[in-house]
Structure 1
């Protein structure tokens, strides 16, 4: 049976890096980052675009679920509210085992991650406060928590792999 592995967390916690490692280690797999569906210029957060992005994500996930080439689907996105999970999951078809993980960390670790991302041109420090504000939301979600404060991305990925029972 296919395994849908959803990895969420606040901006800068390391979702994309960890998810990519998980997908590289689990074969055959597909990796989808929800942020890819928001790559628009200019970036406009509107109800129309929100609906389009959600539709695109569910379309892609359903296509991967229907494709016999993949056993593992690794999907990451901020997903800071249970209602967003529900909206996406309610539109998926087929049989799959669902695994939901929230990457969490300390404020200090998040600041360090942001600083590295700034050095690498991935993000600016402007978003750090918004990311701090969302940190507590992940504690309330019905997900398995992985505290990455003292873990490398590879260590976090292996914790996820261990928990899904490859």
Structure 2
């Protein structure tokens, strides 16, 4: 495989994927940051199989283009992948690009997620309805491989654990 690595951060809404991913990207020269939500930015939002398939294709095209860029040394992909077929399609696409993959699912306690949610004054998705959906998804994400409980960790500590783990 090529030496370029793709780090995938999965997990529920509000767990800190974007915050940690941006922290790693900013601290690591030559790192591209992809937020999967950019690749599915429809108004109004529609998250069905067709639109998610399109988003997967968009993400893989972006990763492929970054692979061609000599300035790019690593890619961070953050996206909520709560359906196995979406995650599997991303993994298979990255494998076809012959890139190294590190995948981590960020989790936290319900209390921590609620606290982070209520303190996020920037994201328009931080409504009570979406909080319930997100907290209800915690058991699904907790069952996935390579989970990292971020409940009592700082952004820097989460980033260090992701970068150190293999």
TM surpasses 0.5: yes
1:23-42 matches, cutoff 5 A: 23-42=25-44
1:63-78 matches, cutoff 5 A: 63-78=65-80
1:133 paired residue number? 136
Question: Is residue 125 of structure 2 the alignment partner of residue 155 of structure 1?
Answer: no
1:85-124 matches, cutoff 5 A: 85-92=87-94, 93-117=96-120, 119-122=121-124, 123-124=126-127
Question: Is residue 61 of structure 2 the alignment partner of residue 43 of structure 1?
Answer: no
Question: Is residue 83 of structure 2 the alignment partner of residue 81 of structure 1?
Answer: yes
**Residue 65 (structure 1) shift:** 2.2
TM-score (normalised: structure 1): 0.89
- Residue 8 of structure 2 aligns to a residue whose secondary structure is strand
For residues 9-66 of structure 1, the C-alpha deviation after alignment (integer angstroms, 9 at most, x for no partner) is: 1001010000000111122110001011222222223333222212111111121123
Is contact 2:52–2:86 with CA below 8 Å preserved after alignment?
Answer: no
- Residue 21 of structure 1 aligns to a residue whose secondary structure is helix
Is contact 1:34–1:57 with CA below 8 Å preserved after alignment?
Answer: yes
CA distance in 2, matches of 1:132, 1:47: 23
TM-score (normalised: structure 2): 0.89
For structure 1, the 5+ residue unaligned runs are: none
Cα gap change, 1:91 to 1:120, in 2 (>3 Å): closer
Is contact 1:81–1:137 with CA below 8 Å preserved after alignment?
Answer: no
Is contact 1:13–1:103 with CA below 8 Å preserved after alignment?
Answer: yes
Runs of 4+ aligned structure 1 residues displaced above 4 Å come to: none
CA distance in 1, matches of 2:27, 2:139: 30
Cα gap change, 1:95 to 1:131, in 2 (>3 Å): same
Is contact 2:9–2:105 with CA below 8 Å preserved after alignment?
Answer: yes
RMSD: 1.6
CA distance in 2, matches of 1:137, 1:147: 14
Is contact 2:53–2:86 with CA below 8 Å preserved after alignment?
Answer: no
